[in-house]
Structure 1
Amino acid sequence: MLAEMISYIIENSQDFTTALGEHLELTLIALGISIAFGLLLGIIGSRFRSLRNFLLNVGKIGRTIPSLAVLALSLPLLGIGKPPTLLALTLIGTLPILINTIIGLEQVDKDTKEAAVGMGMKDLQILRQLELPIALPVIMAGIRTAAVVIVAGATLAGFIGGGGLGDLILNGHQLGRDHVMLAGAIPATLLSFYFEEAFGRLETWATPKGLTDETRQSGGLIGLLLAIAVMPLIFGTLLPWSITNTTGEAPTVLTGIHPEYRGIGLPILVLGLVATLWPRRGEKGNSWPITLVTWGAAIAALLWFVVGLFSKIDALETSGLVLLLASVVSITAITSLELVLSYRNHRANPRRIKELQTTL
Structure 2
Amino acid sequence: MSFTEFLIQNQKDIVSSLIRHIQLVGVAVAIGMVVAIPLGIFLTRHKKAANAVLAFVGMIQTIPGLVMLGFALIFLGIGILPALVVLGIYAILPILRNTFTGITEVEPSYIEAAKGIGMTKAQILYKVELPLAMPSVIGGIRISTVYTVSWATLAGLIGAGGLGDLIWTGLSTYNTNFILAGAVPSAIIAVLFSGLISVVQRGLTPRGLKGVRI
Decide: shared fold, TM above 0.5.
yes
Partner of 2:208: 210
Give 1:248-287 correspondences, 5 Å limit: none
State whether residues 74 and 88 of structure 1, in contact with CA within 8 Å, keep that contact through their aligned partners in structure 2.
yes
What is the identity, as a one-letter code, of the residue corresponding to 1:122?
T
Match of 2:35 among 37, 48, 59: 37
What is the identity, as a one-letter code, of the residue corresponding to 2:7?
I
Q: 1:74: how far off?
A: 1.7
Q: Secondary structure at the match of 1:150?
A: helix
Q: Secondary structure at the match of 2:2?
A: helix
Q: 1:93: how far off?
A: 0.7
What is the identity, as a one-letter code, of the residue corresponding to 2:159?
G
Note the aligned Cα RMSD (angstroms).
1.9
Q: 1:87: how far off?
A: 0.5
Q: 1:67: how far off?
A: 2.7
Partner of 1:77: 75
Does 2:26 correspond to 1:59? no
Q: 1:47: how far off?
A: 1.1
Q: 1:188: how far off?
A: 0.8
Partner of 2:113: 115
CA–CA separation in structure 2 for the residues paired with 1:169 and 1:34: 25
CA–CA separation in structure 2 for the residues paired with 1:73 and 1:159: 13
Match of 1:178 among 155, 176, 179: 176
Does 2:101 correspond to 1:103? yes
Q: Secondary structure at the match of 2:17?
A: helix
Does 2:92 correspond to 1:94? yes
CA–CA separation in structure 1 for the residues paired with 2:24 and 2:200: 20
Q: 1:73: how far off?
A: 2.5
Match of 2:48 among 42, 47, 50: 50
- Structure of larger gyration radius: 1
Q: 1:38: how far off?
A: 1.0
Q: Residues 228-266 of structure 1, C-alpha deviation per residue, up to 9 Å, x if partnerless?
A: xxxxxxxxxxxxxxxxxxxxxxxxxxxxxxxxxxxxxxx
Partner of 1:138: 136
CA–CA separation in structure 1 for the residues paired with 2:61 and 2:202: 25
Partner of 2:163: 165
State whether residues 159 and 166 of structure 1, in contact with CA within 8 Å, keep that contact through their aligned partners in structure 2.
yes
Structure 1 consecutive aligned stretches of length 4 or more whose deviation exceeds 6 Å:
none
Partner of 2:14: 16
Does 2:188 correspond to 1:190? yes
Greater helix fraction, Structure 1 or Structure 2: 2
TM-score, normalising length from structure 1?
0.57
With 3-12 and 97-106 compared, the bigger mean Cα shift is at: 3-12
State whether residues 59 and 98 of structure 1, in contact with CA within 8 Å, keep that contact through their aligned partners in structure 2.
no
State whether residues 166 and 184 of structure 1, in contact with CA within 8 Å, keep that contact through their aligned partners in structure 2.
yes
CA–CA separation in structure 2 for the residues paired with 1:104 and 1:71: 31
Closer/same/farther in 2, CA of residues 160 and 53 from structure 1, 3 Å limit:
same
TM-score, normalising length from structure 2?
0.93
CA–CA separation in structure 2 for the residues paired with 1:175 and 1:85: 24
CA–CA separation in structure 2 for the residues paired with 1:209 and 1:82: 42
What is the identity, as a one-letter code, of the residue corresponding to 2:33?
I
CA–CA separation in structure 2 for the residues paired with 1:94 and 1:34: 4
Q: 1:46: how far off?
A: 0.7
Partner of 1:7: 5
Structure 2 segments unaligned to the other structure (5+ residues): none
CA–CA separation in structure 1 for the residues paired with 2:187 and 2:130: 32
Q: 1:154: how far off?
A: 0.7
CA–CA separation in structure 2 for the residues paired with 1:187 and 1:28: 16
CA–CA separation in structure 2 for the residues paired with 1:140 and 1:93: 13
Does 2:128 correspond to 1:127? no
Structure 1 segments unaligned to the other structure (5+ residues): 216-360
Q: 1:183: how far off?
A: 0.8
Percent same amino acid among aligned pairs?
37
With 180-189 and 49-58 compared, the bigger mean Cα shift is at: 49-58
Q: 1:214: how far off?
A: 9.2
What is the identity, as a one-letter code, of the residue corresponding to 2:88?
T
State whether residues 173 and 181 of structure 1, in contact with CA within 8 Å, keep that contact through their aligned partners in structure 2.
yes
